[in-house]
């Protein structure tokens, strides 16, 4: 796909595991050439993470495969003079340098922002860390679960009886990666006008707190602290998980007209004229009573029938699926969300990876190649000139 907007942009990716690789995966899907700079003999820690021990041992663990398709890999030890020289040759032709070390690590081995900017004034340097490059927590180690806890996210996940709970996927890593990718794209757009690169300091804690929406803003604006509400939405009612005849069903009738249509379709028009449920605030105050009435009416049909009936009438509603069920949805198949690639080191096996939900001029953004084996591009790696990186 030659019309991808980041075509011609080179990213040097020094990152590990998830937040950084997730960021550069999005940049790759948008057309950038991403070169992973990995530790010799070890590589990205994610190469050894996943549910299949054999893949982990081979350096192609599932966690790595999910975020690194379409990238290149070169092994360099940035403490060795020869490899440092090779890195600086790569740096000279790069547009972006991305890392997610603990704050200050890259500077301590000789590549602080002033040095990087001198070596390549057009370079956009993005550092992702748990807490940012400055402040009293900047040197603390951080993984997704640490940030989930410190952000307040875990305190409002679950019910009053079960909270605090970890969100079931690494949401802080992914949010941090997305904010970094967005910031890099903005910096590249700015550089097109100024000709000068910038230093981006991305804090996973701050990015996560920003992404928590009303949970943060309700407290900042009105002094109302959020509380764990399980599967209910604090901003509206009826909005949450309900019980159809054969299982759970999510309904988000957040607007007055949606509530009225819902009541009509479940055969309970009387709820519309009940003073307890007359408007949004009344429904929120009487949430438990309203949910009880709706659940009783939903027992007449299975969840899929309600999903089709309600959604077709403009009331947001859908079943709760497992991941295994979701990946088989016709909607995802129709939009080409998944791509099948050759499996690194095992051509007889299929590797399926996800896109990012963006279509460009009517086509999904797809990986251009499978994830690289460690050091796969050591011998020959185009730098936009005639450079060759030797192991």
Q: How confident is the model at residue 97 (pLDDT cuts 50, 70, 90)?
A: very high
Spatial neighbors of 8 by CB under 8 A, at least 6 apart, are 31, 33
pTM: 0.92
228 phi, psi to nearest 5 deg: -70, 130
Which residue matches tokens 């547009």? 95
Please say if the pLDDT value at position 345 is more than 60: yes
Look at residues 376, 6, 382 and name the one whose alpha carbon lies nearest to residue 187.
Answer: 6
Q: At what angle do helices 171-194 and 204-211 cross, to 10 degrees?
A: 100
The catalytic site residues sit at: 173
**What are the pLDDT digits (tens) for 225-281?**
999 999 999 999 999 999 999 999 999 999 999 999 999 999 999 999 999 999 999
The Cα–Cα gap between 168 and 3 comes to 36
The class level of CATH for 239-321 reads alpha beta
Characterize the bridge pairing of strands 199-203 and 359-360.
Answer: unpaired
**What does the domain layout of the chain look like in residue ranges?**
10-211+334-364, 239-321
Nearest CA among 138, 114, 155 for reference residue 203: 138
pLDDT digits (tens, 9 = 90+) for 141-158: 999 999 999 999 999 999
Write down the CATH superfamily of domain 10-211+334-364: Crotonobetainyl-coa:carnitine coa-transferase; domain 1 (3.40.50.10540)
């Amino acid at each position: 796909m030659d019309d991808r907007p980041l075509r011609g942009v080179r990213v040097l990716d020094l990152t590990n595991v998830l937040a950084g690789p997730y960021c550069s995966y999005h940049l790759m899907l948008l057309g950038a050439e991403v070169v992973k700079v990995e530790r010799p003999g070890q590589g990205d820690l994610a190469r050894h993470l996943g549910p299949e021990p054999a893949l982990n041992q081979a350096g192609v663990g599932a966690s790595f495969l999910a975020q690194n398709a379409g990238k290149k890999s070169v092994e360099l030890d940035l403490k060795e003079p020869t490899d440092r020289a090779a890195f600086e040759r790569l740096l000279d032709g790069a547009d972006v340098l991305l890392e997610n070390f603990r704050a200050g690590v890259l500077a301590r081995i000789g590549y602080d922002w002033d040095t990087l900017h001198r070596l390549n004034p057009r370079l956009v340097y993005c550092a992702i860390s748990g807490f940012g490059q400055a402040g009293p927590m900047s040197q603390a180690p951080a993984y997704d679960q640490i940030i989930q806890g410190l952000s307040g996210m875990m305190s409002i996940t679950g019910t009053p009886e079960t909270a605090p709970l970890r969100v079931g996927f690494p949401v802080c890593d992914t949010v941090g990666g997305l904010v970094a990718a967005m910031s890099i794209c903005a910096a590249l757009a700015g550089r097109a006008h100024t000709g000068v690169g910038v230093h981006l300091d991305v804090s996973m804690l701050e990015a996560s707190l920003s992404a928590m929406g009303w949970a943060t803003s309700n407290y900042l604006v009105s002094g109302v602290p959020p509380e764990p509400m399980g599967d209910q939405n604090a901003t509206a009612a009826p909005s949450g998980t309900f019980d159809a005849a054969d299982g759970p069903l999510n309904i988000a009738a957040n607007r007055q007209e949606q509530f009225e249509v819902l009541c009509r379709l479940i055969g309970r028009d009387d709820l519309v004229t009940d003073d307890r449920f007359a408007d949004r605030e009344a429904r929120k105050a009487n949430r438990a009573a309203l949910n009880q009435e709706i659940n009783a009416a939903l027992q007449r049909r299975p969840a899929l029938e309600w999903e089709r009936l309600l959604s077709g009438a403009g009331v947001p509603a859908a079943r709760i699926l497992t991941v295994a069920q979701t990946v088989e949805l016709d909607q995802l198949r129709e939009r080409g969300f998944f791509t099948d690639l050759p499996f690194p080191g095992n051509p007889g096996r299929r590797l399926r990876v996800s896109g990012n939900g963006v279509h460009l001029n009517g086509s999904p953004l797809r990986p251009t190649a499978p994830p690289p084996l460690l050091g796969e591009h050591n011998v020959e790696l185009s730098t936009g000139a005639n450079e060759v990186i030797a192991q």
